[in-house]
């Protein structure tokens, strides 16, 4: 991609109505466009990051036999009434709308009921279980107050997976596989070191549910971390969990964190409420066990910005960066010719390059490359070409090296 063709532009100033670091930087660098409070559009740059995050999640969900699908945003009222969750007093984030004939519809804030209703059609026998399905969906939640940029919006992208089982034991086994898969996801996203599986308040079937919390000053939650045992407890269940786990409260460090994933064990709750059963090997009807597993894709993007950004701008981890290389061109005809050639060469090797082919001064290009946060910067200039060299500067660390063509390719390969 050539910078001259990107319709987005960088800005030296952040809009006054954004305080959150993630929103300020993402807007300044041209990754998102704010439509209204808590509602952001993703530009080509932003979409590339989202797709990279989604692909990592997709690969790990597929690796544990998740089957990708996509449900709908429009949901019928009746399905949610069977579990009492249509009621605004039970679920306070509903957006609701009506058909022309006044039939009430809900705009999806979650999909447990919708998934189960669909599965009613397909699950008949124990031979049809277990099954795990997931999707990347835009969730709509009528939050009373949107805040923290893209970290808590009214419209956001979430990966939600649902697994259905014949028994609690089978569900538990899969549940633990998902925890392991989630750990791999956060490792690959560059967040592994600071992400904990935490004990949080549970539902009817488990004492605690599990949340994945990433230490982050911009987060909304308070976490107590036990570094020795690698355990973290959500503040809301602190006393209970400390007693249960037999740990000394004084050994816990209090930190702010952002919830980047959440998993729930519903047991047979949903299927009993909705009357969804399978026929067991005993020939009798049994309720289906259900668990759900979420990862906030757009929130993860915000957390990554918050955690890695420095005074110059965003710093994308290698795996989620919109491009691998930012190619800066300085100088006249000779530099243009060589930079064009290098751009094509790198693209030919499958390396994603953002090529700054604009007629701008060097300082502007360097500053933009840093604000946008591409991991590797390569500079081509008349001066360097006289010695047949290139400059290589990693975004993280920022230490420049002068390299030959072969050395450069080795570095980027």
Q: Going residue by residue from 344 to 383, which x/- string records binding to RNA, judged by CB under 7 A? A: ---------------x-xxxx-xxx-xx-------x-xxx
Nearest by Cα to 26 from 16, 6, 5, 40? 40
Residue 302 makes contact with RNA by CB under 7 A: no
Residue 4 makes contact with RNA by CB under 7 A: no
Minimum Å gap between C-beta 152 and RNA is 7
Stretch that binds RNA, among 32-40, 74-82, 179-187, 343-351 (CB under 7 A): 32-40
Closer CB to RNA, 133 or 384, in the complex = 384
Closer CB to RNA, 103 or 138, in the complex = 138
Contact by Cβ (8 Å): 49, 289: no
Q: How far apart are CA 209 and CA 203, in angstroms?
A: 7
Minimum Å gap between C-beta 264 and RNA is 6
* Burial (CB count within 10 angstroms: exposed 0-12, middle 13-18, buried 19+), residue 109: buried
Residue 11 makes contact with RNA by CB under 7 A: yes
Closer CB to RNA, 52 or 146, in the complex = 146
Tokens 């987005």, located at residue? 8
Residue 384 makes contact with RNA by CB under 7 A: yes
Residue 152 is given by DSSP the state B
3-state secondary structure of 203: coil
List beta partners, residue 393: 377
Residue 198 makes contact with RNA by CB under 7 A: no
Residue 10 makes contact with RNA by CB under 7 A: yes
Minimum Å gap between C-beta 282 and RNA is 32
Residue 41 makes contact with RNA by CB under 7 A: no
Q: How far apart are CA 4 and CA 69, in angstroms?
A: 37
Dmax (CA) of the chain: 82
Nearest by Cα to 328 from 272, 402, 391? 391
Size of the site for RNA (CB under 7 A): 53
Taken in order 28, 31, 35, 36, is the CA torsion positive or negative?
Answer: negative
Contact by Cβ (8 Å): 66, 161: yes
Torsion of CA 327, 333, 334, 336, to 10 degrees: 20
Stretch that binds RNA, among 13-21, 301-309, 316-324, 342-350 (CB under 7 A): 13-21
Kindly report the backbone phi and psi dihedral angles of residue 232, in degrees, each rounded to the nearest multiple of 5, phi listed first. Answer: -135, 140
Contact by Cβ (8 Å): 223, 213: yes
Residue 256 makes contact with RNA by CB under 7 A: no
Residue 203 makes contact with RNA by CB under 7 A: yes
Instruction: Supply the DSSP string of 251-287, one letter for each residue.
Output: GPEEEEEEEEEEEEEEETHHHHHHT-EEE-TTSSEEE
- In the window 77-106, what residues touch RNA (CB under 7 A)? 85, 91-92
Residue 19 makes contact with RNA by CB under 7 A: yes
Contact by Cβ (8 Å): 402, 389: yes
Stretch that binds RNA, among 30-38, 61-69, 167-175, 337-345 (CB under 7 A): 30-38
Residue 413 makes contact with RNA by CB under 7 A: no
Residue 405 makes contact with RNA by CB under 7 A: no
Q: How many CB atoms lie within 10 A of CB 99?
A: 9
Closer CB to RNA, 145 or 284, in the complex = 145
Stretch that binds RNA, among 14-22, 163-171, 246-254, 298-306 (CB under 7 A): 14-22
Residue 254 makes contact with RNA by CB under 7 A: no
Q: Going residue by residue from 103 to 132, which x/- string records binding to RNA, judged by CB under 7 A? A: -------x-x--------------------
Binding site for RNA (CB under 7 A): 10-20, 36-38, 85, 91-92, 110, 112, 143-148, 152, 203, 220, 262, 264, 292, 294, 312, 330-331, 359, 361-364, 366-368, 370-371, 379, 381-384, 391, 393, 400
């Amino acid at each position: 991609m050539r910078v001259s063709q990107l319709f987005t532009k960088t800005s030296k100033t952040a809009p006054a109505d954004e305080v959150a670091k993630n929103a300020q930087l993402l807007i300044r660098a041209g990754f998102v466009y704010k439509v209204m409070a808590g509602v952001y559009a993703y530009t080509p740059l932003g979409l590339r990051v989202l797709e990279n995050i989604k692909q990592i999640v997709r690969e790990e969900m597929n690796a544990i036999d998740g089957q990708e699908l996509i449900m709908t945003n429009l949901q019928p009222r009746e399905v949610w009434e069977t579990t009492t969750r249509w009621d605004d007093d039970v679920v306070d984030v509903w957006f609701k709308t009506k058909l022309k004939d006044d039939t009430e519809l809900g705009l999806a804030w979650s999909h447990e009921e919708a998934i189960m209703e669909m599965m009613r059609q397909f699950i008949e026998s124990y031979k049809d279980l277990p099954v795990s399905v997931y999707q990347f969906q835009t969730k709509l939640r009528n939050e009373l107050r949107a805040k923290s940029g893209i970290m808590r919006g009214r419209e956001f992208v979430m990966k939600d997976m649902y697994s259905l089982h014949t028994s609690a034991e089978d569900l538990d086994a899969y549940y633990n596989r998902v925890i392991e898969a989630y750990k791999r996801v956060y490792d690959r996203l560059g967040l592994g070191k600071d992400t904990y599986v935490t004990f949080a308040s549970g539902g009817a079937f488990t004492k605690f549910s599990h949340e994945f919390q990433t230490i982050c000053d911009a987060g909304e939650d308070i976490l107590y971390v036990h570094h020795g045992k690698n355990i973290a407890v959500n503040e809301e269940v602190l006393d209970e969990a400390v007693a249960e786990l037999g740990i000394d409260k004084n050994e816990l460090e209090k930190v702010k964190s952002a919830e980047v994933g959440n998993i729930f064990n519903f047991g047979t709750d949903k299927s009993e409420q909705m009357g969804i059963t399978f026929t067991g090997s005993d020939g009798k009807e049994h309720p289906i066990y259900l668990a759900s597993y979420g990862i906030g894709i757009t929130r993860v993007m915000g957390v990554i910005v918050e955690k890695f950004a420095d005074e110059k701008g965003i710093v994308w981890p290698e795996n989620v960066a919109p491009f691998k290389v930012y190619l800066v061109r300085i100088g006249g005809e000779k530099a243009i010719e060589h930079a064009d050639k290098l751009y094509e060469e790198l693209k030919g090797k499958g390396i994603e390059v953002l090529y700054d082919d604009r007629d701008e001064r060097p300082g502007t290009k360097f500053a933009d490359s840093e604000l946008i946060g591409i991991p590797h910067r390569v500079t081509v200039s008349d001066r360097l070409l006289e010695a047949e060299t290139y400059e290589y500067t990693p975004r993280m660390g920022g230490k420049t090296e002068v390299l030959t063509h072969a050395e450069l390719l080795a570095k980027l390969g």
